[in-house]
Amino acid sequence: MRGYGMYSIDNVGWLEKDKPVCGPLDAIVRPTIIAPCSSDIHVAHGGSGPKENLILGHEAVGIVEEVGQYVRRFKPGDLVAVPCVTPNWLSRGVQNFRSFSHDRGPFGSFKFVGEKDGVMAECFHVNQADPNLAHIRPGVEPEAALMTVDMMSTGFHGVELADIGIGEKVVVIGIGPIGLMAIAAAALRGASQIIAVGTRPRAREVAVEYGASEVISYRDGPLDQQVMDLTRGKGAHKVVVAGGGPEAFADAIRMTRPNGVISNVNFFDVKDNIAIRPLDWGLGMGDKDIRGSFCPGGGKRIQRLINMIEYKRIDPTKMISHRFHGFDSIPEAFELMDKKSPDLIKPVVYLD
């Protein structure tokens, strides 16, 4: 079968591979819509170490083609959303951890691209179909369901991690799709003021549509000072970091008031060095809680996020800025994601 991926670092193209084999608990899924993600670009450029002959992609909805003999909840022909994180629920590591994401080591539940071929292929393998897949019921747009598998799940997780309460003042750093979903989730959680940080014009408009009260930019001066000015000198209760580099993270600590939380769902690079000045952290005793966590996995979470779409609590399709059609348009969509044009938020590729 054909798939799009990396021969080696910085070297992407079509790969020819054997069709994956379905285990007794597993499923083989034929993707119908996929979304390239900045994490795929990160991996292709060597951000998670050397990888070879690997099909990329971890965001897909599709049709179940085959299930293993012990699979009960899914059958061939079902339309499903596939979480980007698919834990091995039999692992004791997964049973131990709060977010199910890490298994025996960091990101151990991120199977696609992490340890096996991804979803940008004619078909792909899903471990443990029953706990890891989610049905897409009639009435839910498949492309909306596609936004739950990573963008909504991760963005909402930033807000869960920050434990945003009613009336709190929130800053979301980064207005890529994860940041936009964090803004929407903060609004759903009942935040009062939501200050978004970002520069891309189209994303700034969508940030306001999802509930941002103000959108600020690092181009207009130090971020922490701008937040202080907008919060009458007090700072934010909660800051969700969904973008930016080490400097933006240091700003996040400065702009958080005591008893506040800085919640990180942003990938930093192995070469990054985050410098925290003691004064910004109350000389180390400022009661500022720094948390960071990876997208939780599993089908139940994705099913709940799809429920939110079904009951019109959120429309994640506002983020879809580009729609491609046909299997052969995957490279074009991937390149768009890599080059990041100013109007880009999230591309999707319809495969049939």
In the complex, minimum distance from the CB of residue 115 to Zn ion, in angstroms, rounded to a whole number: 16
DSSP 116: B
- Identity of the residue, 173 or 265, whose beta carbon is nearer to Zn ion in the bound complex: 265
Region of 18-26, 34-42, 127-135, 228-236 interacting with Zn ion (CB under 5 A): 34-42
**Least distance in Å: CB of 122 to Zn ion?**
20
Within positions 108 to 167, which residues make up the interface with Zn ion, using CB under 5 A?
150
* Least Cβ distance, residue 282 to Zn ion (angstroms): 35
> Which stretch of DSSP H or E encloses residue 237?
strand 236-241
How much of the chain is in helix, strand and coil states, percent to nearest 5?
A: 30, 25, 45
The stretch among 37-45, 91-99, 295-303, 329-337 that binds Zn ion (CB under 5 A) is 37-45
First CA to last CA across the chain, in angstroms?
Answer: 16
Q: How far is the CB of 349 from Zn ion (least distance, A)?
A: 14
Please report whether residue 179 would count as binding Zn ion according to CB under 5 A.
no
Q: Which residue is nearest to Zn ion (CB)?
A: 37
Residue pair 29/63 in contact by the 8 Å Cβ criterion: yes
Q: Considering the complex, what minimum distance in angstroms separates the CB of residue 82 from Zn ion? A: 12
Question: In the set 25, 27, 37, 203, which binds Zn ion (CB under 5 A)?
Answer: 37
Q: Segment contacting Zn ion (CB under 5 A): 29-37, 135-143, 198-206, 336-344?
A: 29-37
Q: Tell me the number of residues near Zn ion by CB under 5 A.
A: 3
Q: How far is the CB of 84 from Zn ion (least distance, A)?
A: 5
Q: Of 58, 54, 10, 53, which Cα lies nearest the Cα of 31?
A: 58
Q: Which residue has the tokens 């085959």?
A: 66
* Interface residue with Zn ion, options 32, 39, 153, 303 (CB under 5 A): 39
DSSP symbol at 108: T
Q: What is the maximal distance between C-alpha atoms in the chain?
A: 61
* b/e burial code for range 80-94 (CB count within 10 A of at least 16 → b): bbbbbbbbbbeeeeb
- Rounded-to-integer distance, Cα 40 and Cα 48, Å: 10
Give the number of other CB atoms < 10 A from CB of residue 232: 8
CB 159 within 8 A of CB 182: yes
- Neighbour count for residue 108 (Cβ, 10 Å): 21
Q: Which is nearer to Zn ion, 107 or 218 (CB)?
A: 107
Nearest distance, CB of residue 320 and Zn ion, angstroms:
14
Part in contact with Zn ion (CB under 5 A); list of ranges 33-41, 92-100, 247-255, 328-336: 33-41
Using the rule CB under 5 A, give the single segment among 38-46, 133-141, 177-185, 187-195 that binds Zn ion: 38-46
Applying CB under 5 A, the residues found at the interface with Zn ion are: 37, 39, 150
